Chains A and B, each alone.
Chain A
Amino acid sequence: MPLADKLVSSFLAFELDINIQSPVHNIRTDAIKSFEKLGFPNKKLEAWKYTSLNKVLKEDYTLFSKKKNVLDFKNVKDFFLDNTESYKLVFVDGFFDSFLSQTSHDHVDVCIMSAALSKAKYASIIKKHFNKSIEKSDSLSQLNTAFSKEGAYVHIPKNIILEKPIEIIHFATGNESALMLQPRNLIVIEEGAQVEIVESHQSLTDNPIFTNSVSEIFVGKNAHLDYYKIQNDRLSTTLIDNTYISQERDSNAKIHTFSFGGKLTRNNLNYYQKGSYINSTLKGITIIDDKQLVDHHTLVDHANPNCESHQDYKGIYSGSSTGVFNGKIIVDKIAQKTNAFQQNNNILLTDKSTINSKPQLEIFADDVKCSHGCTIGQLDQDALFYLRARGIPRKEAEALLTYAFANNVLESVSIPALKSKIKKIIANKLGVKLGFDL
């Protein structure tokens, strides 16, 4: 049975397992209908022109893992931040793992969606925010909504500055021969609050994993968000990451996406500016090889005056890998004095690697500053010779230049342990031991 049909027909079984009386369930029911109508996206859609899910959809995925696997911390410790105190929300094959997690219910809620969707104390927040920013025509988001049940739930009340970062990790243990996961995250940062979040998806075996994730993030007035996505999964995995950010006035939201792993990764990153004097930052480093594909689709919707957005994506492609960058910026008629910047720089290290880069600017206001730039090139041969003439071997010289190329994206990482973790991943990815610290 095609995966879409299997999903639709399994919705009944899914309903046996949840409270169908809750108001959220109407949203799920509508969403499955919508998915049934839309189906999975295909290459005929402009937004999916370069990325085909055909192969991914052919696997026979288990939709709900049957048993809870227990993970030993010492076996997965490398996937957490080193020497950093943090809140932790850990999910294993779609189930919350309370042993590996460190939640909070004190002054802030760092807990799980299944609780938030069912308990009365969360009802008002859920009512206000759940499924409010989703793009209704996006079939994958609808699919996730239909099966929304588990994921991270974070609520930071007014003026709270969270000292410790929150780590959200979704593990897959391979106890099913192929598994589909649909985590649903809701993050609400109230006025004046501040938080740092690090999210990753990590498979522990080579069994195929198909993750269709949705995160809704609300950033209140004058609130600050630093969100880091580490995409360094195994080559047997596919990740569709749908992230929706709504920002209130004077807020600041930064998302860094580090894409190194996975067979196919699609990031749909959508920013909606709901007030004035908002700052939105989207940065990314993509380093892939073999037959990997990473597709960044970004949207910044400037709907109010005096706001800014900054996009800076760097890509380094080798093997026969493919990159896609599609950056859409909409500036509404009333969004005067908008400053919108977009930069996408790429290096192709091999003849067989590909990058499809497309800026998409729709500007309806007349007093705005919008700029976009895109470069595609090779490593600078003169620079390479310069480094080698000082005794640095070719491979390390290339790594050093690659590093330098990506450096300004790394510079803005605010968690030191995360920065060094990413540097290590990059060095690993480039196949060198780097004896320097940038």
Chain B
Amino acid sequence: MLTIDNLHVSVEGKPILNGINLDVRAGEVHAIMGPNGSGKSTLSSVIAGNEAYEVTKGDIIYKNENIIELAAEERANKGIFMSFQYPVEIPGITVTNFIKTAINSNLRARNEKEMPANKMLKKIREKAELLEIDSRFLSRSLNEGFSGGEKKRNEIFQMAMLEPSLSILDETDSGLDIDALKVVANGVNKLKNKNNAVILITHYQRLLDYIVPDYVHVLHEGKIVKSGGKELAHELEEKGYDWIK
């Protein structure tokens, strides 16, 4: 589904990623771990198409297409989703209207008909229930005044609504208490199937107790320095990141 080949990325001339290689197939869950400043969030932003980052070398192949030149919305239209580490607060747009606009934008981009209102409503209700989201929450302004947990839950709610092929969850566990973490993890697990893939970006092993990865990669100074199975995460938890450098 996704092949990252020798990816180099700079921000304002400063290199952040220095030759990333990664292969993610449908049905897989990959965890990317690493200390602060290792380039984890840069990697997710670059896959999602944030123009603030400059790809200086390498390719990102998604479903057999090089997406390096595609705008963020075009990548989203093709089924790439990123759950933001810091979801932006947008007063004046409700959660419901935001998600409706997003879904219909994606359908239009794929030359499909917009979703009828009743179907939309049903789906919103269903997915809100999955994430244990109160319906009143949906008519609030997007992320405005949300707690950390509410913001992350709202991100996964959007993922549930958009049903992406590839989801990148950037530090989805940070700022969550254990109950909220369970709800979010349960949501992700229910959405997981053999046709989609998930990349978990995380600093801690905790999330991986609830969403079990097939592969774990360790990022250090903009490079993947070690890859392994889920046991690698436990090892990191015990020993910290120092032994790997």
Do A and B pair up? The answer is yes
Q: Do the beta carbons of A394 and B76 come within 8 Å of each other?
A: no
Q: Which residues of A contact B114 (CB under 8 A)?
A: 435
Given A386-B88, A388-B73, A389-B48, answer yes or no on A438-B101 (Cβ-Cβ < 8 Å): no
Q: How far is the CB of A373 from chain B (nearest CB, A)?
A: 15
- How distant is the Cα of A351 from the Cα of B210 in the complex, in angstroms? 49
- How distant is the Cα of A200 from the Cα of B81 in the complex, in angstroms? 46
Say yes or no: is B105 at the interface (Cβ < 8 Å to chain A): yes
Q: Contact string, B80-103, partner A, CB cutoff 8 A, digits 1/0?
A: 011010011011111001101110
Count of chain B residues with a beta carbon within 8 Å of a chain A beta carbon: 33
Which A380-417 residues have C-beta < 8 A from chain B? 380-383, 385-394, 396-397, 400-401, 403-408
Given A382-B88, A390-B162, A435-B104, answer yes or no on A400-B109 (Cβ-Cβ < 8 Å): no
Given A400-B93, A400-B101, A438-B97, answer yes or no on A391-B76 (Cβ-Cβ < 8 Å): yes
- How distant is the Cα of A399 from the Cα of B198 in the complex, in angstroms? 31
Q: Do the beta carbons of B90 and A383 come within 8 Å of each other?
A: yes
For residue A393, which residue of chain B has the nearest CB? B73
Q: Do the beta carbons of B84 and A394 come within 8 Å of each other?
A: no
Given A400-B93, A435-B100, answer yes or no on A391-B88 (Cβ-Cβ < 8 Å): no
Q: Which residues of B contact A386 (CB under 8 A)?
A: 84, 87-88, 90
For residue A435, which residue of chain B has the nearest CB? B104
Q: Which residues of B contact A438 (CB under 8 A)?
A: 92-94, 97
- How distant is the Cα of A386 from the Cα of B162 in the complex, in angstroms? 14
- How distant is the Cα of A386 from the Cα of B82 in the complex, in angstroms? 9
- How distant is the Cα of A254 from the Cα of B171 in the complex, in angstroms? 47
Q: How far is the CB of A343 from chain B (nearest CB, A)?
A: 14
Q: Which residues of B contact A437 (CB under 8 A)?
A: 97
Say yes or no: is B21 at the interface (Cβ < 8 Å to chain A): no
Q: How far is the CB of A103 from chain B (nearest CB, A)?
A: 39
Say yes or no: is B42 at the interface (Cβ < 8 Å to chain A): no
Given A389-B76, A391-B105, answer yes or no on A404-B92 (Cβ-Cβ < 8 Å): yes
- How distant is the Cα of A392 from the Cα of B90 in the complex, in angstroms? 15
For residue B87, which residue of chain A has the nearest CB? A386
Q: Do the beta carbons of B73 and A403 come within 8 Å of each other?
A: no
Q: Do the beta carbons of A388 and B101 come within 8 Å of each other?
A: no
Interface centre among B82, B100, B105, B158 (most CB of A within 10 A): B105
Given A400-B101, A435-B104, answer yes or no on A390-B158 (Cβ-Cβ < 8 Å): yes
- How distant is the Cα of A438 from the Cα of B139 in the complex, in angstroms? 10
Q: How far is the CB of B145 from chain A (nearest CB, A)?
A: 15
Q: Do the beta carbons of A391 and B92 come within 8 Å of each other?
A: no
For residue A380, which residue of chain B has the nearest CB? B88
Q: Which residues of A contact B162 (CB under 8 A)?
A: 390-391
When the two chains form the complex, which single residue of B48, B92, B106 contacts A405, counting CB atoms closer than 8 Å?
A: B92
Q: Contact string, A225-254, partner B, CB cutoff 8 A, digits 1/0?
A: 000000000000000000000000000000
Q: Do the beta carbons of A391 and B73 come within 8 Å of each other?
A: yes
Q: Do the beta carbons of B92 and A407 come within 8 Å of each other?
A: yes
Say yes or no: is B24 at the interface (Cβ < 8 Å to chain A): no
Say yes or no: is B148 at the interface (Cβ < 8 Å to chain A): no
Q: Do the beta carbons of A404 and B93 come within 8 Å of each other?
A: yes
When the two chains form the complex, which single residue of A381, A392, A405, A407 contacts B101, counting CB atoms closer than 8 Å?
A: A392
Inter-chain contact count A-B, CB under 8 Å? 87
For residue B51, which residue of chain A has the nearest CB? A385
Q: Do the beta carbons of A393 and B105 come within 8 Å of each other?
A: yes
Q: Which residues of B contact A434 (CB under 8 A)?
A: 101
Q: Contact string, B37-57, partner A, CB cutoff 8 A, digits 1/0?
A: 000000000001111100000
Q: Which residues of B contact A381 (CB under 8 A)?
A: 52
Q: Which residues of A contact B4 (CB under 8 A)?
A: none
Given A386-B87, A389-B82, answer yes or no on A394-B101 (Cβ-Cβ < 8 Å): no
Q: How far is the CB of B66 from chain A (nearest CB, A)?
A: 19
- How distant is the Cα of A386 from the Cα of B144 in the complex, in angstroms? 14
- How distant is the Cα of A393 from the Cα of B81 in the complex, in angstroms? 15
When the two chains form the complex, which single residue of A385, A403, A404 contacts B72, counting CB atoms closer than 8 Å?
A: A385
Interface centre among A391, A394, A436 (most CB of B within 10 A): A391
Q: Do the beta carbons of A392 and B105 come within 8 Å of each other?
A: yes
Interface centre among A400, A403, A404, A408 (most CB of B within 10 A): A404
Q: Which residues of A contact B100 (CB under 8 A)?
A: 435-436
- How distant is the Cα of A434 from the Cα of B98 in the complex, in angstroms? 11
Given A386-B84, A386-B87, A386-B90, answer yes or no on A391-B106 (Cβ-Cβ < 8 Å): yes
Q: Do the beta carbons of A403 and B92 come within 8 Å of each other?
A: yes
- How distant is the Cα of A437 from the Cα of B102 in the complex, in angstroms? 13
For residue A402, which residue of chain B has the nearest CB? B92
- How distant is the Cα of A389 from the Cα of B98 in the complex, in angstroms? 12
- How distant is the Cα of A261 from the Cα of B56 in the complex, in angstroms? 45
For residue A407, which residue of chain B has the nearest CB? B92
Interface centre among B51, B81, B97, B158 (most CB of A within 10 A): B97
When the two chains form the complex, which single residue of A383, A390, A401, A435 contacts B76, counting CB atoms closer than 8 Å?
A: A390
- How distant is the Cα of A385 from the Cα of B158 in the complex, in angstroms? 15
- How distant is the Cα of A365 from the Cα of B150 in the complex, in angstroms? 46
Say yes or no: is B165 at the interface (Cβ < 8 Å to chain A): no
Q: How far is the CB of A28 from chain B (nearest CB, A)?
A: 47
Q: How far is the CB of B173 from chain A (nearest CB, A)?
A: 20
Which A14-69 residues have C-beta < 8 A from chain B? none
- How distant is the Cα of A435 from the Cα of B105 in the complex, in angstroms? 9
What are 8 A-B residue pairs whose CB atoms fall within 8 Å in the complex?
A385-B50, A389-B76, A389-B81, A391-B109, A404-B91, A404-B93, A434-B101, A436-B101
- Further contacts, 20 of them, CB under 8 A, given A387-B102, A438-B93: A385-B50, A385-B51, A385-B72, A386-B90, A387-B90, A388-B49, A388-B76, A389-B76, A389-B82, A390-B98, A391-B77, A391-B109, A396-B101, A396-B105, A397-B73, A434-B101, A435-B105, A436-B100, A436-B101, A437-B97
Q: Which 10 A-B pairs have the closest CB atoms?
A: A404-B92, A407-B92, A391-B76, A390-B102, A388-B72, A391-B106, A386-B88, A388-B73, A436-B97, A392-B105
Q: Which residues of A contact B (CB under 8 A)?
A: 380-383, 385-394, 396-397, 400-401, 403-408, 434-438
